[in-house]
Amino acid sequence: MEDIFKPQSLTIGELFGNKDALYQIPRYQRPYSWGDDQLEKLWDDLIEAQITGEPNYFLGSVITAKPEETSNYLDVVDGQQRLTTLLILLCVCRDLYPNLNNNILDIDPFAVDAKMVKSSIRFNDRFERLRLRTHSNHESDFQELVLQDGKAILNKKPYKKELRVEVAPKFKFMNTSLFFKEKLNELGEEKSGEFINYLFNKVKIIRIDCQSVSFAIKLFQVLNDRGLDLSNADLIKSFLIGKIHKIYEGDNELKKQKEDQFMDDWKICENIAIDTYENMNNLFVMYEYSLLAKNPEKSLYDELKRLFEEKDPNNVISNFKKFVTHYKNDVYYREDALMYSFFYIRWTMYWKSIVLTALHTEYPEYESFLKVFKRYYYINWIAGNTLTKIKQTSFNIIGWIRDKKPLIFIQEELEKGLKNDTIKRAIENLNGDIYYEPWCKPLLFLLEYKQQDSPNYLSMDNRNIHIEHILPRAYEKNIDWEYFKGVDGIDTWVNTGGNLTLLSGSKNIVASNNSFDKKIIAYDGTGYHEGNDDKVTSFNITQKIVNDYNSNKFEKSWNSDSINDRWVWFCNQVESELEIDLTEIKEVLL
């Protein structure tokens, strides 16, 4: 009886040089993804092993399986990143040193020459040792950028933004080939020859050959439980692919059809992850929260494996695709102030899971729910509550939505939590120094959105958007502000909502600690400006200050009356935005 799996200890020379050393990365695998950190670690480990004379350096294991269709190639179920990286290294060596070790071939029977390197890349000069089947473009890119003679050393360094694209491995191919070109150039031809000799003859990999893809995937999952560094998304995909192979065992045509359908949907989900700058793991966490409506008791993979155990894999991925499509179309690309406001909230995985559950289940009062939910999270945030305080309620909300509880029920339940001194603490925190609070700029963004009919998204990552102190924090250093010296309580109001606004970076630099008159012409761009920043500020909440000045309100001065007026305006805006009563703090303050 033939063994269901067979482990072999192979040197790198044997791994790429034996007659059965033909590998393909199957379609269900993720694309090549190694970056500088992984490359540096691999290189440093190999060089250190060579220097210390390690006689048998172990580089890990590779799991292969016989593919379903008749083929001389083995499917690589685990280990594709290392195999692809090693092959790129060999291609760079082939192109860089065509006379590798020629000077010692007559005296060293184990010396590796260019012919052996080429044979490790292409068997009998006809068949590639490694084929990438993850996508047709990936295979052609690999051919053009790496496998073809002379091409591996012609690649240029990709841009960082290109390397961040998870499913565009061409840039990773280019980066890896350039990495090894630089390393082998540093070694020089003679030292590179010694390194390749060590790599071929002393570095070993355990190759585990399995008789079926489904068993290989199962083994892959078991080994992962023992500590291999694999993503939950990879495990979930391999588990579902394994189920397809098991369900349709004996019907290869239907099996291939179902697997192709699965992979088409999976690729769509991966593209959505790229388009939204998310990753598949996070999308699966949101999906897990939505399905469970409670705090997970096990790992992401174990929880989803349990939930998917009795379900058709194609139905699972189809439903997941619908879920993440909502994220792309109805959350990430939705352009209005209400949705923008959620992207500032720190409890990202929870608010996204809740909103997506409402979309996915077609909650009938969705738009009204968003407003109620936003208010709940913002008041908790301003009150200083942590995730621990709102976590269980967040899962409760998911459950209420799934059960199609009426909005009035959800609203009443959330209000109960807010009345347990949360609203009181939120009001107290609004009535003081808010400049250093993490919610200060988001709150000003929300007030800015209220002034516009069709607002554009204001990003927290935009370093050109500043919080401007109208009365400068260093007001005492400028004689133009001396009339504030000695004003009772002024120091406590410099960082309050009555003295803060939004301003672009260039205008903020010009405004600086200058007098109010000079600040105004920085705000409106009418004379005190640098470069081309000669237009009125785009922020409506700052334009209001300019308008008040031009209308001679408060005698064109920023004084106690101005700050009091701004404070009342600020409170009115927050009241309207968060439906919270600020009457007790909305008094004249200076």
pLDDT tens for each residue of 503-555: 987 777 776 778 888 888 888 877 554 555 567 778 999 999 999 999 999 88
Report pLDDT for 505: 75
Report pLDDT for 118: 95
Please report whether residue 430 resides in a domain.
Answer: no
Provide, rounded to the nearest whole percent, the portion of the chain with pLDDT above 70. 95
Please report whether residue 357 resides in a domain.
Answer: yes
- Structure-model confidence comparison of residues 162 and 328, the more confident one: 328
Please report whether residue 40 resides in a domain.
Answer: yes
Q: Alpha helix locations (H) across 464-581?
A: 505-511, 516-524, 540-550, 560-578
List b or e across 277-299, with b for residues whose CB sees 16 or more CB atoms inside 10 angstroms.
ebebebbbbbbbbbbbbeeeeee
Please report whether residue 431 resides in a domain.
Answer: no
Picking from 333, 364, 398, the residue at the C-terminal end of a domain is 333
Residues in Cβ contact with 412 at an 8 Å cutoff, skipping those fewer than 6 apart: none
Alpha carbon separation from 308 to 299, 361, 425 (Å, rounded): 14, 18, 43
Picking from 309, 333, 357, the residue at the C-terminal end of a domain is 333
Q: What is the span of the domain harbouring residue 567? A: 440-585
- Structure-model confidence comparison of residues 250 and 229, the more confident one: 250
Based on the domain organization, do 397 and 452 belong to the same domain?
no
Based on the domain organization, do 107 and 254 belong to the same domain?
no
Mean pLDDT along residues 465-491: 83
Number of domains in the chain: 4
Based on the domain organization, do 77 and 218 belong to the same domain?
yes
Please report whether residue 419 resides in a domain.
Answer: no
Based on the domain organization, do 329 and 344 belong to the same domain?
no
**From 186-190, 223-227, 473-477, the region with the lowest mean pLDDT:** 223-227
Mean pLDDT along residues 224-236: 64
Please report whether residue 432 resides in a domain.
Answer: no
Give the DSSP H/E element, type plus range, for residue 9.
strand 5-11
Rounded mean pLDDT of the chain?
A: 89
Based on the domain organization, do 266 and 138 belong to the same domain?
no
CB 92 within 8 A of CB 185: no
Based on the domain organization, do 384 and 505 belong to the same domain?
no
d(CA 145, CA 91): 10
The strand pairing partners of 64, in sequence order, are: 76, 209
Picking from 225, 243, 273, the residue at the C-terminal end of a domain is 225
Q: Is the pLDDT of residue 78 over 60?
A: yes
Based on the domain organization, do 90 and 182 belong to the same domain?
yes
Count of other CB atoms within 10 angstroms of residue 124: 7
Q: Is the pLDDT of residue 574 over 70?
A: yes
pLDDT band at residue 444 using 50, 70 and 90 as cut-offs:
very high
Based on the domain organization, do 395 and 465 belong to the same domain?
no
Report pLDDT for 226: 45
Based on the domain organization, do 262 and 342 belong to the same domain?
no
Based on the domain organization, do 381 and 368 belong to the same domain?
yes
Task: Give per-residue pLDDT as tens, 138-194.
Answer: 889 999 999 999 999 998 888 887 777 666 789 999 999 999 999 999 999 999 999
**From 144-153, 394-403, 477-486, the region with the lowest mean pLDDT:** 477-486
Based on the domain organization, do 36 and 168 belong to the same domain?
yes
Based on the domain organization, do 121 and 245 belong to the same domain?
no
Please report whether residue 434 resides in a domain.
Answer: no
Please report whether residue 445 resides in a domain.
Answer: yes
| SS3 (DSSP) at 35 | coil
